[in-house]
Chains A and B, each alone.
Chain A
Amino acid sequence: MLNIAVCIKQVPDARTVRFDKETGMMIREGVETIINPVDLNALEAALAIKDGHDARIHVLTMGPPSADKALRDALSMGADQAYLLSDRAFAGADTLATTRVLAAALKKIGQMDMVVCGNQSVDGDTAQVGPGLAVRLEMPSVAYVNALELTADTLKCIRMTGHGHDTVLMKTPCLVTVIPSINTPRMPSLKGKMKAKSAGIPVWTANDLGLSMNDIGLAGSPTRVLNTFVRSFEARRERLEGDADAQVAALCERLVAAGVL
C-alpha cells in the first residue's frame, strides 16, 4: 500500500477580509479561515492517485487548535487520517522552522512514498515550505506541477518552467508541489462528512515530535520581521460619481483627453 502525505495550511479567507478606511490595513475581526486554496488541489492530486491505487492518505497541518476544522474538511473530501501539529512554541515560525516540524511529524507517521503540497500559501506567499521539506526527508522534489501520473514506483510530472513545460520522472519516495490548474478539487461526500465528524485526530506538540525549543517557532527561525510600513501613493484619487452611464462617460472623457483611448 502507498502512503501519501498531504501538507495543508489554514489561512484567512480573503473573501471575508475588509480594510480599514483610514489606514488601509486589514481588519482582523470577522475574518473566516479556510484551507489554503491550492492545498485542496494537492489533496485532490493525492485522492486521484488513491482512486487508481491502493493508498492511504495522511493529511497534516501545523497550526492553532482551531486548525482542526481544516483537517476535518480534508477528511470529508476523502483523506484517511489527519494529524494536527499544535504547540504555542511553534508560533512565529518562518519557512525553515516550519519544515522542521512537518518533517518530524512525517518521520513519526512512517515512511511516505509521496508527499504532496500546494505550491504556496496565500498569506505567506513564499513557495518555500514544499522544496525545503523535501530536503529534510531526503527526497527529490519538483515544484509547480501541473499534471501527475504514478506508474509502479515512478512518478511522472509535468511542471511549468517559464518557457513552457518539462516532463520529469522521479522514483518514489519523492515530493511535489502543485499549482491550481492541475485539477478541480472534489466536493466532500455526505459519507465523508459523517466520517470526518467523529474522526480521531492526534494533536502532536514539540515534545511529542522530539523537537528542541531552539529549532522551532520564532526561536528556530533565522529571519525576523524588522518592521512593517504603509506606503502612500501619489495618486490623483478622483472618484467618478453618478450612475454607471455617467461614471463611464466621465472616465472615457478623461481617457480620451489623456490620449490613451
Chain B
Amino acid sequence: MRDISKEGWRGVWAVAECHEGCLMPVSLELVSKARELADKLQTEATAVVFGHGISGAVCDTLMEYGAHVVQLVEHEALAVFRDDVFARVLTGLILSKRPEIVLAPATYTGKAYMPRVQTMLETGLTAGCLELDIRSDDRVLIQTRAAWGGNLFVNIVCPDARPQLVTVSPNVMIARRVVAEGRVERPEVPFEWLKSGMEVTESVHEKQDEAVRLTKADVVVVAGRGIEKRENLKLLQELADALGGAVGATRAITDLGWLPEYTQIGQTGVTVSPRLCITFGVSGAVQHTVGLRNIDILVAVNKDPAAPIFEMATYGIVADVNKILPVLLEQVKKIRCKSPA
C-alpha cells in the first residue's frame, strides 16, 4: 500500500462539473461547502474544473461561490467524459497539490471516476454524503450518510489516509454567494494523463423533462416495494396527473425495472422538495427518505404499522395500498373536478 501520511496535506477542493460549457448547480453547492470547511480549517478552498471551451465567466462564478483558487484544466481531450482520463487528471493534480479533502458531485460522472481516483490514491471514499463537518481537534472530516435499513445514519471518518474523498448528491448542500476574490491557475497536463482505453463515439442529450419535472414538482407520489403489483403504477401515475405532480420511486422499484432509473429518490438518486408527498408501500429506510427534503405534508400509506415512514409522516394510513389507491384516486378526481380552474 502506498503510504499517504497526513503531513503536508492542506486545503479543501471541490470538483466542479460542466455540461456544454455551463456549470451544473451541484458545482456551486460543493464550492460553497468546500469554502465553509476551508474556513473552519483556516485553509484555502479550491474549485477544480475540467473540460474544453470553458469561459472565464465559469471561473468568476466559482470564485463568487467561495473558491479562493480555481484550477482550470482545459484540453480538447477533456471535451467528452472518459472515466480513465478524468480519473488520471484529477489524481495527478491531487498528488501535485496535496489537498486534505476533495468533494466531488455524486452524479453519474462523479460516481464513475471517483472510485478510480480513490484506488489510484489508495485512500478512503464515502459515497453520497448528506452532511460534512470538521472535527476541530484533528482536522478530520466527519462524513454523514444513510445506513442500510431502518432510520439509521452513519458517521464515517478516514482518520489516517489522505486525501479524504467524498461524493455529494445534487440538491443536498446549499450554494451561497460570498464576497470573495480568487485567482485562476492553469496547471499543465502531461500527455500521459490523457491516454485512454475508451472512445466516446456519440453523446445523446435527451431532454429529460420527466426527471426535471420530478425534482421541481409541488406534488410527488412515491412508489415503494409495497405497491406489490406493477399495474398499480398506472393508478399512481393517474393520481400524480390528477394532482398536477410527478411519480418518484424507491430503489426497490427501479431495481425491478418498473420505473426508470432517474425516478429513484434517495441517497444515490434524486432529492425532491414538494409541498405534498404521498408515499405508497414505502417502508421509510433512510437511504430513501434522505431524498425527501423540506416537505410540507408527507402522507404514508403502508400496511406495516411498524414501518419507519410513519415516524416522519404528517398523516399515516395503515392499510393495504390496493384498497386505498383506487378510492383516493376517485376522491381526488372528484375534488379536482369540482374546484374551479
Contact = CB atoms under 8 A, between A and B. Distances in A.
Our verdict on whether A and B bind, yes or no, reads yes
Interface stretch (A50-58, A79-87, A177-185, A198-206): A177-185
Interface stretch (A66-74, A104-112, A234-242): A234-242
Contacts of A194: none
Given A237-B310, A245-B327, A132 B118 contact: yes
B291 to A, nearest CB: 12
Contacts of B65: none
Contacts of A123: 148-149
Interface of B: 1, 19, 80-81, 83-84, 87, 107-109, 111-116, 118-120, 122-128, 142, 146-161, 196-206, 208, 218-219, 225, 243, 251-252, 254-257, 260-261, 267-268, 275-276, 283, 285, 287, 296-299, 304-308, 310-319, 323-324, 327-328, 331-332, 335-336
A220 B1 contact: yes
Interface string A164-196: 111111110010000111001000000000000
Which 5 pairs between the two chains have the least Cβ-Cβ distance? A140-B197, A26-B149, A222-B124, A222-B161, A233-B312
B261 A240 contact: no
Interface string A124-142: 1111111111111001111
A251 B328 contact: yes
A131 B113 contact: yes
Given A238-B316, A261-B335, A160 B156 contact: no
A254 interface: yes
B311 A25 contact: no
Nearest to A99: B119
B125 to A, nearest CB: 6
Contacts of B147: 228
B275 to A, nearest CB: 6
A251 B124 CA distance: 47
Contact of A168 (B198, B311, B314, B315): B198
A60 interface: no
A96 B81 contact: no
Contact of A230 (B115, B118, B152): B152
A214 B243 contact: no
A181 B203 contact: no
B151 A24 contact: yes
Given A131-B112, A135-B87, A169-B199, 6 more contacts: A24-B311, A132-B119, A164-B204, A166-B80, A224-B156, A244-B319
A175 to B, nearest CB: 10
A251 B314 CA distance: 10
Given A163-B205, A166-B204, A226-B155, A232 B81 contact: no
B314 A128 contact: no
Interface in A208-261: 214-215, 220-233, 235-240, 244-245, 247-249, 251-252, 254-256, 258, 260-261
B150 A180 contact: no
B219 A260 contact: yes
Contacts of B316: 237-240
Contacts of B108: 143-144, 159-162
